[in-house]
């Protein structure tokens, strides 16, 4: 055994395969691993003189976006602390390209990694159900505001986390020839549908909507996975109808939060403290919710004053309490506008917003190209099918019409860019 080869294989190859799970420990561990991947990949590429991973149009696009972020931040310079997110943001897209190199070098898509994902999903599902039924998970973390969070404690991101893991679980099922075409292994149908159930039980409406969008998109573009998707959605609906009846309390009802509360927020019901203000400002109909409507109104005011290059990465949180932008009762002031497109529009102006729209349009174009190619063949092509899964995941990440976290948050940025590495890998193999 050559330790010089084996150690990088296990540390970078296997580590990258389970990278999303590192995020459950916290962003610091993932951040350190990200930097090590970049160092390893850049050093190896230079040593091997194999520059295809960094000599491509994607890097040029990322570089252009990064330079715009820097320009916007330093034109609106406030202090170094506010500028750190901008200065060091280059590492995130560089991680995607570095991860592509690692995937290509080690090619670790075996059943060992799939087994790890299966065990992890089973453990997370079990822990979430225990918390749902008893009010506490196995670590003693209690239900937070009538919502389950499993190992994330007070961070209500369980649904969003599972949403981002499911595409990779499906990917490894495809790569191990377990689903696709007429293959429907019901143990994986059950496991996937239970994972969807946990997203539903988490009460995260955005994550649940995006999960449905992911499966709908994948169903649309990939005929070889349709049977698996149909069975998965059917199983999920059965679970969703049966399991919520055995809940800790009547208040702990995901259906009420998912549907009734969403409707009430749109029409403004239950916002008594804002009734008079609402009549003056919102005309009784909200965009998503009272808070989100306020975020977007504030963003629009800031954009009008900084239309070309925006306010800088943390401009929204800095300016939202400024008397020239402030709304009555400080409505809408927060750390970010809670929508990726609105945040990019405010932070980087029309230039950055245009780049984001171009990126989204490119993904949509690739989705249709992928669909056309898959419809033209009779037997599943692993690279083509794998590309379709990653494209669907990227499409969901870039979907414009939903509330979202801070785009420049380390955790969210890693999630946004990680699927790109797999897309680069499979798309390059498909084209070559």
Please give the tally of structural domains in the chain.
1
Q: What's CA 403's distance to the chain center, in Å?
A: 12
Element (H, E) at 339: none
DSSP-derived 3-state class of residue 306: coil
More confident residue, 228 or 21: 228
HEC per residue, 376-394: CCCCCCHHHHHHHHHHHHH
- What tens digit of pLDDT does each residue of 335-383 get? 888 899 999 999 999 999 999 999 999 999 999 999 999 999 998 899 9
Is residue 119 domain-resident? yes
Residue 242, domain member (yes or no): yes
User: Looking at residue 284, what is its pLDDT?
Assistant: 44
Domain hosting residue 214, numbered range: 110-248
Q: Can you give the pLDDT at residue 422?
A: 95
> Is residue 307 one of the residues assigned to a domain?
no
What is the token pair recorded at 244? 């919520």
Residue 27 belongs to some domain of the structure: no
Residues with Cβ within 8 Å of residue 418, at least 6 apart in sequence? 19, 20, 95, 96, 99, 164
Does 162 fall in a domain? yes
User: Quick check: is 403 in a domain?
Assistant: no
Dihedral of the CA atoms 103, 108, 110, 115 (nearest 10)?
Answer: -90
Q: Is residue 201 part of a domain?
A: yes
pTM, two decimals, is: 0.90
pLDDT (tens digit per residue) in 204-227: 888 999 999 999 999 999 999 999
* pLDDT per position as a tens digit, 298-332: 888 899 999 999 999 888 888 887 877 776 655 66
At residue 270, the pLDDT reads 52
312 located within any domain? no
């Amino acid at each position: 055994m050559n330790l010089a080869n084996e150690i990088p294989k296990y540390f970078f190859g296997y580590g990258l395969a389970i990278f999303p799970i590192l995020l459950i420990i916290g962003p610091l561990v993932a951040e350190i691993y990200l930097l090590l991947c970049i160092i390893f990949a850049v050093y190896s590429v230079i040593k091997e003189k194999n520059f295809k991973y960094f000599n491509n149009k994607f890097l040029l696009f990322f570089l252009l976006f990064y330079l715009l972020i820097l320009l916007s931040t330093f034109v609106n310079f406030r202090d170094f602390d506010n500028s750190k997110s901008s200065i060091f943001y280059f590492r995130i897209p560089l991680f995607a390209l570095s991860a592509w190199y690692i995937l290509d070098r080690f090619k670790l898509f075996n059943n060992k990694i799939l087994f790890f994902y299966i065990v992890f999903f089973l453990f997370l599902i079990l822990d979430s159900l225990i918390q749902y039924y008893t009010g506490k998970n196995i670590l003693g973390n209690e239900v937070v505001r009538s919502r389950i969070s499993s190992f994330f404690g007070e961070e209500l991101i369980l649904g969003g986390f599972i949403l981002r893991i499911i595409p990779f679980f499906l990917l490894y099922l495809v790569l191990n020839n377990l689903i696709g075409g007429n293959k429907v292994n019901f143990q994986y149908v059950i496991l996937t549908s239970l994972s969807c159930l946990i997203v539903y039980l988490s009460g995260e409406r955005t994550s649940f909507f995006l999960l449905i969008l992911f499966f709908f998109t994948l169903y649309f573009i990939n005929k070889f996975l349709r049977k698996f998707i149909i069975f998965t959605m059917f199983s999920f609906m059965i679970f969703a109808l049966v399991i919520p009846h055995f809940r800790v309390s009547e208040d702990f009802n995901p259906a009420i939060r998912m549907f009734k509360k969403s409707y009430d927020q749109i029409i403004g019901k239950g916002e008594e403290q804002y009734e008079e203000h609402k009549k003056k400002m919102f005309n009784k109909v909200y965009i998503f919710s009272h808070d989100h409507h306020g975020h977007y109104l504030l963003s629009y005011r800031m954009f009008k004053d900084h239309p070309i290059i925006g306010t800088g990465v943390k401009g929204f949180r800095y300016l939202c309490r400024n008397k020239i932008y402030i709304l009555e009762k400080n409505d809408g002031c927060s750390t970010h506008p809670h929508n990726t497109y609105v945040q990019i529009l405010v932070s980087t102006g029309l230039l950055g917003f245009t780049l984001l729209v171009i990126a989204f349009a490119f993904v949509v174009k690739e989705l249709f190209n992928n669909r056309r190619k898959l419809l033209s063949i009779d037997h599943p092509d692993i690279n083509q099918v794998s590309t379709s899964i990653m494209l669907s995941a990227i499409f969901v990440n870039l979907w414009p019409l939903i509330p979202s976290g801070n785009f420049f948050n380390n955790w969210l940025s890693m999630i946004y860019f990680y699927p790109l590495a797999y897309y680069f890998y499979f798309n390059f193999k498909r084209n070559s």
